[in-house]
């Protein structure tokens, strides 16, 4: 069968596999039998004394390099179908083919090996090439280059929550659970790092006087972010939200209990996701959505429902980079006395002066300080290790 040639020439790559859990080559206790008086000439010549396994931990594969420098496995595309991952749990993925049929797929081992620095080799939203294996089964052979991702740090590795999205809808609540602007700011940075547009959605606005939200809504709107206030109870902002999501690939993210699944049910009742209540004891949301899943909207577009995130540890952001994500700092950095000013403790800091003069929100500045402090602690711990 002819192999479909790609525009880029493949190259040999040496990859390390995790050691197989196979049987030991040495089936007998060589030393004990020799001491027991057995003639060495009678022992099996094929038996190895070495403790090494039968298979090498290193393999040579043929791979291509995409525009981002990532390796793409060189495979026989004529045996594969194109699809998109709707959900991924461990090594089991639900993939929808171009014909609309869904397949339960596993992930090729060499693909998992190439992605060992990341938490997941395949994530919801990935566009993949998979090989059908009878019925509704399949094997994912290659993940295409990702564009537009939402990720965080998990156990010092990148945890990509979803890929190939256009925008991130950051859902918070006016109350129950309490609104956390520092979490909004972290999601804004993560969205910018992932090259996606961010929309801030303040849900459950029926629980408080809308006037109380104006300072926060106005602050983010003046910074150029799109902000929407919603309520399922009185349907505030639901029609506007539907327009924002139509024809796009949008991930809904935020804490548990903020109403992500409920909002999806309201704009697309046919999806009918399970929803939960906020704990009255701790005033925190309970995890109802347990897996990230891609859902098609009947009016056009896709949404991604995600499990609640109580804390978001930024991926691949060092303390010195954080100021660049606070766009309101930029006009005042040039007034800092020191070129490497961290805007935390230095004298003659233009940013601190702007905060004192209320040109920069004190709420946003405190959010910046928390991020810098936490990242410096992590960097210091990493150096000590």
Q: What is the pLDDT of residues 309-363, one digit of tens each?
A: 877 899 989 989 999 999 999 999 999 999 999 999 999 999 999 999 999 999 9
Domain residues for the domain of 139 are 74-143
Q: What is the pLDDT of residues 245-303, one digit of tens each?
A: 999 999 999 998 899 999 999 999 888 887 755 444 444 444 455 688 999 999 999 99
* Buried/exposed 146-167: b ≥16 CB within 10 Å, e otherwise: bebbbbbbeeeebbbbbbbbbb
Task: Specify the pLDDT at position 184.
Answer: 96
Strand partners, 227: 200
Q: Kindly state whether residues 278 and 167 are assigned to the same domain.
A: yes
Q: Is the previous residue joined to 52 through a cis bond, with omega within 30 degrees of 0? A: no
Q: Kindly state whether residues 278 and 171 are assigned to the same domain.
A: yes
Count the domains in the chain: 3
Q: Kindly state whether residues 106 and 227 are assigned to the same domain.
A: no
**Which residues touch 106 (CB under 8 Å, ≥6 apart)?**
91, 92, 93, 138, 139, 140
CATH code for the domain of 332: 1.10.40.50
Q: Give phi and psi for 322, each to the nearest 5.
A: -60, -40
- Both tokens of 27, joined, read 């089936």
- C-alpha–C-alpha distance, residues 115 and 98, integer Å: 25
Residues of the chain below pLDDT 70: 1-74, 115-119, 276-290, 375-385
Per-residue HEC secondary structure of 104-160 comes to EEEECHHHHHHCCCECCCCCCCCEEEEEECCCCEEEEEEECCCCCCEEEEECCEEEE
CATH code for the domain of 139: 2.40.50.140
Q: Kindly state whether residues 136 and 154 are assigned to the same domain.
A: no
pTM of the model: 0.78
**Residue pair 260/252 in contact by the 8 Å Cβ criterion:** yes
**Which residues touch 188 (CB under 8 Å, ≥6 apart)?**
170, 198, 200, 225, 325
- Both tokens of 248, joined, read 């796009």
Task: Specify the pLDDT at position 14.
Answer: 54
10 within some domain? no
**Residue pair 227/217 in contact by the 8 Å Cβ criterion:** yes
Q: What are the strands, taking DSSP E only, across 301-362? A: 302-305
Q: Kindly state whether residues 105 and 242 are assigned to the same domain.
A: no
Q: Kindly state whether residues 94 and 155 are assigned to the same domain.
A: no
């Amino acid at each position: 069968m002819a192999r479909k040639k790609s525009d880029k020439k493949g190259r040999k790559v040496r990859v390390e596999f995790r050691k197989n859990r196979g049987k030991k080559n040495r089936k007998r206790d060589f030393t004990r039998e020799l001491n027991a008086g057995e003639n060495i000439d009678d022992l099996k010549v094929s038996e190895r004394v070495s403790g090494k396994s039968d298979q090498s931990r290193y393999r040579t594969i043929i791979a291509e390099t995409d525009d981002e420098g990532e390796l793409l496995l060189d495979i026989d595309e004529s045996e594969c179908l194109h699809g998109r991952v709707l959900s991924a749990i461990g090594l089991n993925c639900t993939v929808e083919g171009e014909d609309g049929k869904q397949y339960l797929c596993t992930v090729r081992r060499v693909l998992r090996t190439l992605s060992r620095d990341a938490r997941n080799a395949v994530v919801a939203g990935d566009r993949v090439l998979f090989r059908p294996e009878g019925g509704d089964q399949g094997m994912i052979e290659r993940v295409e280059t990702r564009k537009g991702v939402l990720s965080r740090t998990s156990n010092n590795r990148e945890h990509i929550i979803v890929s190939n999205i256009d925008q991130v809808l950051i859902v918070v609540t006016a109350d129950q659970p309490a609104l956390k602007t520092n979490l909004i700011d972290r999601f804004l940075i993560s969205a910018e790092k992932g090259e996606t547009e961010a929309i801030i959605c303040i849900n459950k606005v029926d629980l408080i006087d809308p006037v109380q939200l104006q300072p926060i809504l106005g602050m983010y709107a003046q910074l150029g972010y799109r902000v929407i206030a919603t309520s399922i109870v009185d349907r505030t902002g639901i029609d506007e939200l539907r327009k924002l999501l139509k024809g796009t690939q949008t991930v809904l993210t935020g804490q548990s209990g903020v109403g992500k699944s409920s909002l999806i049910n309201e704009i697309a009742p046919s999806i009918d996701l399970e929803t939960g209540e906020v704990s009255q004891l701790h005033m925190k949301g309970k995890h109802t959505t347990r897996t990230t899943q891609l859902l098609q909207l009947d009016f056009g577009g896709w949404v991604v429902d995600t499990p609640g995130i109580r804390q978001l540890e930024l991926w691949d952001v060092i303390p010195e980079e954080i100021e660049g994500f606070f766009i309101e700092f930029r006009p005042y950095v040039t007034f800092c006395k020191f070129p490497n000013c961290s805007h935390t403790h230095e004298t003659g800091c233009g940013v601190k002066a702007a905060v004192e003069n209320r040109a920069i929100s004190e709420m946003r500045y405190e959010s910046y300080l928390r991020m810098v402090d936490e990242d410096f602690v992590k960097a210091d711990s990493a150096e000590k290790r």
